[in-house]
Each structure stands twice: as C-alpha cells, then as structure tokens.
Structure 1
C-alpha cells in the first residue's frame, strides 16, 4: 500500500533544507573571510618594507608561422623540445618554388645572351665609327689642297655623324639589356628568399610549447606551426594594492618561492603597471576579488635561467616577494636559501 506524505511533513522537510543551506553559506563566508585574514596575517609576519603576492612563472611566447602559403613537408621538433636560436624547426614544400626558379634562371640566361649580342653590336659600331673618323680626316686634308669638293667633305661629315649616332643607340641597347638581366636576376633572388623562408627557424632560444600543425597540412600565409616560450624572458607577475605598488622601485631585488620548495629564486622588478586593474582570475590572490591591484613583474636573470634551463617550467606557482624601500631590511630566514647566486647583484 502506498502512503502519501501529509501536508505537515513538507514544511518540515523544507525547514531542514533551509537550515542546511544556511550552514553551508556561513561556512563558505567563513572560509573566504578566513583566507583574507590568513593573507593579512602572512603580510604581518613579513619584515617592514617587504610585501608579497601570489603568481606563476610565465614567459613571452613566440609564434613560428609560415610567411607564404604552402604545404608542410616536415616538422622537426616536438612539444617540450629545447631549441636554439637559428635552429630549423620545420620545412615547407618548395616544389612549386623550384619550378619558378628554374624558369627565372632560364630568363636570366636569355637576357644575358641578348646583352652579349648588344655588346658585340657596340664593338662593331665602334669600329665603323673609327673608319668614318679616319675618312673624314683624310677628306678635310684634301679639301685644304683643293683635291676634293666641299660636297665630298659634307658627305664624309654626315657619314661620321651617322656612325656616332648608331653607336650611341647600340650603347643604349646594352644598357637596356643590362637592366633586363638585373630584373630577371631579381626574380631569381626573390624566389631564393621565398625558398629560404620555407625553413622555419627559431628566432630565440626557447622550448616548444605547442605543435599546431603536422606534415602534409596546407597553411595559408601566416599560418602557425609552433609556439615557443622565450627562455630569455622568464618572470612572475604579482598584484599589489596601490599603496604598495607605488613604493616598489624599478630594478629593486625580489625573491620567488615556488610552492613546496625550500629555496628562493633571485629576481628583479622589471615593470610596474601604471594602470590599476582587477586581479585576473587565474591569479590566486588572498585579497578581495573586487579590489583594484597593480601588476608587478619579477624577472629572473637570464644567466640564472641558462644554468638551470632544464628545470625552467612555465606555469609553476609560487609567491613573489619584493622590497619597498631603497634601504630594505635583510631577507627573512626562509628566503635566505637561494637556488644559486647570480652574477647580477641579487641583494644580501
């Protein structure tokens, strides 16, 4: 037999659910408030003139893209590979470019042959002009003795002038042929540059973050093949309230301590944003979400990154510490142990 709950039972059930929701809301509010006060407590434990903020290791990203449309012939690296500046990372098929180059090379040869022919014509016209000049000289002498008429002198002069004009025209033809050769060679050079661009090289020393295309795929101009992280630009961004951010000197020393690590990494303040912003969601701050903060970048020295290149991983989370005063106190004991001293002054 089926029983139906009475009308009195429903309000009781609702009262119990409401109490449960109220308890959960109080717990969540207490947790958020506790996190805020915990953060404030941590700040209070730091020496005067030293502040901190949560962040993660980041790096500038560099896209490796095809300059012109084409089919990928091969990709020579995988995600996670360490690459050096100038290293060939991928190749684009050059079959069509090679055919174009062969045509342009043939055009160059044809223009060069025409230029040589024009130069031979110039040599011939120069010889003819020499003969006409010699004839004119003889006629002028004969005119002085009365051996030839004035008409003979005029004819010799006309032949000399005509030979000179023909020579000048031949010389202009040579100049035009030389320009044609240069234009044809420029097309060859252009194709050579396009062929060189099909070798996609790493512009910086870095690590492959994403492999975005594979052999056989056709890319449009600007199509991305790989994304690298630039290992010369390793940094952490933290967010500080205005009263702290405005006191941070550019170039001041900092420390980065990763979650679970018992050492600190020397760093240097390379940038303080001039504009306030809401703290990005991906940054796990322990302050109110609606509070405007200023972005502060802590850059890890390149020489230190080079010595620990295999351990550098973007995305690693931790806490960044910066000094506010020109004459700051010593770092606290838990920040004294550094991963390695750097030639760049990292502070006492």
Structure 2
C-alpha cells in the first residue's frame, strides 16, 4: 500500500474519532446566578417556650423562719397588689412591740414632767431662788430622758420591721400558679411559699440558630403555634440578644444535633392567647 492510499483511509478515521470524543465530553454547566446561590428560606423555623416579662414571675418566701400560721390563698387564685398571702406566727414579736410602745408612752409622760420642771427651774434661777447647779441637773435629766425616748422609738421601728417580715404580701397583681407550703409547717428562713405570676404579661423566648441571626430584625412578624392547640397566634420580634448560648430546649427530633448554639430571641405576643406559662411552642419568623 502506497502513502496516498494509507492517507485516504487514515484521515476519515481520525475525523470520526475526534467527533466521537467531542460528543462524549460533558457539557459544562453554566455557573449559578448570584441570586440562586444565596437564596434561603423566607421563614426561620425555631422552637421556644412561653415565659413572662422580667419581674412578673417570682417565688415568694419569708425572710425569717417560723411556724406558718396562715396561707390565705390557693392555686389559681388571682390576687391584688399588697394583698395578704401568708402570715408566720408573730405572737412573740407582737408582744415585744406592744411592750416597746408602752415604754415609749411611759418615757413621753416623764419627758413632759421634766420639761415643766426645767421651765420652773429656769424661772427660779432668774429670780435667784436656786443656783445654777439645780438648773443644770434639771436640764441634764430632760436631755437624758429625751435620748431614751428616741432610743425607744428606734426599738419600736425595729420591732415593726421584724413583724412586717413575718407577713408576706403580693408585690404585684397576678395569679398563684403554685403553692409550696401548708399552714402549720415550721419553716426555715427563705423557705418557698408561693409562686406568683402575672399571666397578662407573657411572651415567648425563641431559640434561634446562630446562623440565622443575620436575617433577623426587631419588629419581624412571627407566627406561633403549639402542639395540642388549634390555630396560630401572631407576634413580633421584640429583642435580639448580643450573645449566643447553648440550646436549652431538648430537641424533639432525635436526629438533630444537640450542640447547636442559639440566641434567645424575645417575641411579644399580639393580644390574648390560650398559651400556658412554660408551654413549648414552634415559631415561624419572617426573615430579611
């Protein structure tokens, strides 16, 4: 076979092979647009728990120990500010206060007499009927008795303060959500008596993944729902913290990681809801 004949067969073969290789190469994909690359869900899904505003959920306890004489409320009772809730046995302190007040009355009577005596001694001194020493003695007794009156008044104030600490009153209006003691019990100082909460001042503490924080804004609309209750409730983001923390709520889905760091975002509820204090809820927050 001469050179011309060989070329005649080789050239078509090379052309067909090259075409097959070009055909078999994958077509390169166009790079995604920037909008598609960064597109993320418009709703941030998270979980949270119903709580109160600061200072609206407290445990009441007496500062001093003693026998619980009266516990005047039951669970779910609504109370007014200043209402008597509990009274420890205060018979000893009441008797001491009565004695201290009687002592003041006695000293004040003596003080009035000494004041009259000093006035009389001053007149006699001016007339020359008595010497300076007699007047000075009268003046000294008057000042000493005045000091004793002031000390007795301080003692009365101390007894009144002690007596008031044996009486527990409602610091604000609310609902007794838990009762932890019973009348007749001998309680140590600081023993828990009642849990009082203002259920008209509740909100939600939502645990938002730290990676979603950049898409949150104060005022963002929120939809709240709870297992076992029908319907949803509206709210809005009220406060975004400056720090993240470990997740507090145990994940309902066991496949979810437990070491997620979250921000405790405060959500204000719009109007009255049937949600209960401490109830677990699910939230959808409008992202930005």
Give the structure-1-normalised TM-score.
0.62
Q: Secondary structure at the match of 1:223?
A: coil
Shift in Å, 1:72: 0.7
Name stretches of at least 5 consecutive residues in structure 2 with no aligned partner.
1-39
The correspondence for 1:58, drawn from 51, 60, 66, is 51
2:203 pairs with 1:238: no
Shift in Å, 1:64: 0.8
CA deviation map 1:183-203 (0-9, x unaligned): 212222222233233331121
Q: Distance in 1 between matches of 2:41 and 2:61?
A: 49
The residue aligned with 2:234 is 266
Aligned residues of 1:79 and 1:211 also touching (Cα < 8 A): yes
2:37 pairs with 1:74: no
Q: Distance in 1 between matches of 2:171 and 2:85?
A: 10
Q: Distance in 2 between matches of 1:84 and 1:266?
A: 29
Shift in Å, 1:131: 0.7
Count matched residues. 245
CA deviation map 1:107-158 (0-9, x unaligned): 21232233123213202211212212xx9xxxxxxxxxxxxxxxxxxxxxxx
The residue aligned with 1:293 is 262
Shift in Å, 1:252: 3.9
Q: Distance in 1 between matches of 2:120 and 2:257?
A: 93
The residue aligned with 1:313 is 276
Aligned residues of 2:199 and 2:277 also touching (Cα < 8 A): no
CA deviation map 1:6-39 (0-9, x unaligned): xxxxxxxxxxxxxxxxxxxxxxxxxxxxxxxxxx
Aligned residues of 2:173 and 2:198 also touching (Cα < 8 A): yes
The residue aligned with 1:204 is 172
The residue aligned with 1:229 is 197
Once the two structures are superposed, the pairs formed by residues 149-164 of structure 1 within 5 Å of their partners are 162-163=131-132
The residue aligned with 2:188 is 220
Distance of aligned partners of 1:260 and 1:108 in 2 relative to their CA distance in 1, 3 Å threshold: same
The residue aligned with 1:181 is 149
Aligned residues of 1:55 and 1:284 also touching (Cα < 8 A): no
Q: Secondary structure at the match of 1:270?
A: strand
Q: Which runs of 4+ in 1 moved over 4 A?
A: none
Aligned residues of 2:50 and 2:278 also touching (Cα < 8 A): yes
2:66 pairs with 1:98: no
Let me know the Cα RMSD of the aligned residues: 2.7
The residue aligned with 2:110 is 114
Shift in Å, 1:48: 5.1
CA deviation map 1:229-272 (0-9, x unaligned): 23254122222222312432234443322224443323332333
Give the structure-2-normalised TM-score.
0.74
Whose helix proportion is higher, 1 or 2? 1
Q: Secondary structure at the match of 1:224?
A: coil
Q: Secondary structure at the match of 2:240?
A: strand
Aligned residues of 1:279 and 1:291 also touching (Cα < 8 A): yes
Once the two structures are superposed, the pairs formed by residues 24-63 of structure 1 within 5 Å of their partners are 49-59=42-52, 61-63=57-59
Q: Secondary structure at the match of 1:274?
A: coil
